[in-house]
Structure 1
Amino acid sequence: VFKVIQRSVGPASLSLLTFKVYAAPKKDSPPKNSVKVDELSLYSVPEGQSKYVEEARSQLEESISQLRHYCEPYTTWCQETYSQTKPKMHSLVQWGLDSYDYLQNAPPGFFPRLGVIGFTGLIGLLLARGSKIKKLVYLPGFMGLAASLYYPQQAIVFAQVSGERLYDRGLRGYIENFQKPGNVKNSPGTK
């Protein structure tokens, strides 16, 4: 086994080496006359000086140029809008695919819960007949109540986040209203 390895490693290792090979003419061959590049028929040099002359624009080329300059702001606006909406559309498509996968492999009991939540929304819609404000309150209120019965942890998190956002918006509105010059009633230094 050692002799087989020894005989195969030697030629295999030589194949990994690189060598430089220099070509030299034979000593007994007669010297050939070298040919210059100019003498080759493929590389003939024109005798005169060439000069580039730009052709005058035709009426069609001038019209297309004016049209391109006119449309340039609109095309840049479209490109910017596309680059801004592309990530949003990709995330929307991904959300749709994820929702489809979730509905295809829904956990047991999901569809009956969804039916109950939808039914309470319809009840809220029926009770809110005639008033737009009641529709805004009853429909999400009944659906939220039914959803909170089935998903209490998510309802607690939703209530906390919504409460913080409502508090921040109310505080911001109060501060903006207080900072208006006509709304300052008893500021220091005024009587």
Structure 2
Amino acid sequence: MLKVKGSAMPGALCLLPFAVYASEAAGGGEPDAPASSPLNRDELSLYSAPGQKLRYVEPEPGQLENSLATLRKSAEPYAVWCQGTYAKIQPRVRKVVQLGGDAYDYLRNPPKDFYPRAGIIGFTGVLGLFLARGSRIKRLVYPTSLVAVSTSLYYPEQAAAIAKSAGDSVYESAVRSYAAAEKVLKPKGKKAADSETKP
């Protein structure tokens, strides 16, 4: 048995070598005799753990887990649809928010003579509504055309750019509609003959 008297460093005791007395199971030797060769701590049976064969068993799902799995499977198509819709809508919402922020900044620090021009443009719209009494088509055409004319007088560069882009889009839509009408109105016999002559 190891007897240690008071020490100033008790943590250093684990580093000191000491003798271990072990008894033999068969009883052939003296139980109190020290071992002939020093043993490591890992060689003692006290510190060695027997080898265990562990096997993982998957727990059976309960009723709550089964109902949650069923609910998740039934909600999965809707979640995929919502994610796709959100991915489509998100850029448009960002554009609208950006446009609103830009308009707010523009109205907070407007250029010179912005409000008088906006007042005149609004007045021409009201004048168009006053002149277009009696017909719904006039109520749509007169104010819109008067506002467009007065706006183009104050902002000619922007009006020219808008007119050009609108003309391009009208031209493209006219070409598409002409091609679609040509497909519909073209007889089937000519299609077969054209497909035979082309390599």
- Distance (Å, rounded) in 2 between the aligned partners of 1:132 and 1:138: 10
- Work out which of the two has the higher radius of gyration on C-alpha atoms and give 1 or 2: 2
Residue 164 of structure 2: aligned partner? 160
Counterparts in 2 of 1:114 and 1:34: CA distance versus 1, 3 Å = farther
Structure 1, 48-57 or 147-156: larger mean CA deviation: 48-57
Cα distance, 1:49 vs structure 2: 2.0
Indicate the larger mover: 142-151 or 167-176. Answer: 167-176
Aligned mate of 1:102, from 103, 106, 118 = 106
Partner Cα distance (1:38, 1:123) in 2: 106
In the comparison of the two structures, how many residue pairs are matched?
155
Deviation at 1:38, TM superposition (A): 9.4
Shift of 1:85: 1.8
The superposition leaves residues 37-61 of structure 1 with CA deviations (integer Å, 9 ceiling, x where unpaired) of 99796xx746542222222211111
1:92 is aligned to: 96
CA distance in 2, matches of 1:46, 1:141: 95
2:83 corresponds to 1:79: yes
Instruction: Summarize the Cα distance change of 1:88–1:39 in structure 2 as closer, same or farther, 3 Å threshold.
Output: farther
The aligned counterpart of 1:126 is: 130
C-alpha separation between the residues in 1 aligned to 2:95 and 2:43?
62
Q: Structure 2: 5+ residue runs without aligned partners?
A: 1-15, 18-37, 194-199
CA RMSD of aligned residues (A): 3.1
Which residue of the partner structure matches residue 136 of structure 1?
A: 140
TM-score (norm 1): 0.68
The runs of at least 4 aligned residues of structure 1 exceeding 6 Å deviation read 37-41
Aligned position for 2:6: none
1:61-90 alpha-carbon deviations (Å, 9 max, x no partner): 111100000000111111122122222212
Answer whether contact 1:38 1:45 (CA < 8 A) is retained. Answer: no
C-alpha contact (below 8 Å) 1:121/1:139 kept by paired residues: yes
Q: 1:129 to 1:73 in 2, by over 3 A?
A: farther
**TM-score, length-scaled by structure 2:** 0.65
Q: State the match for 1:66 in structure 2.
A: 70
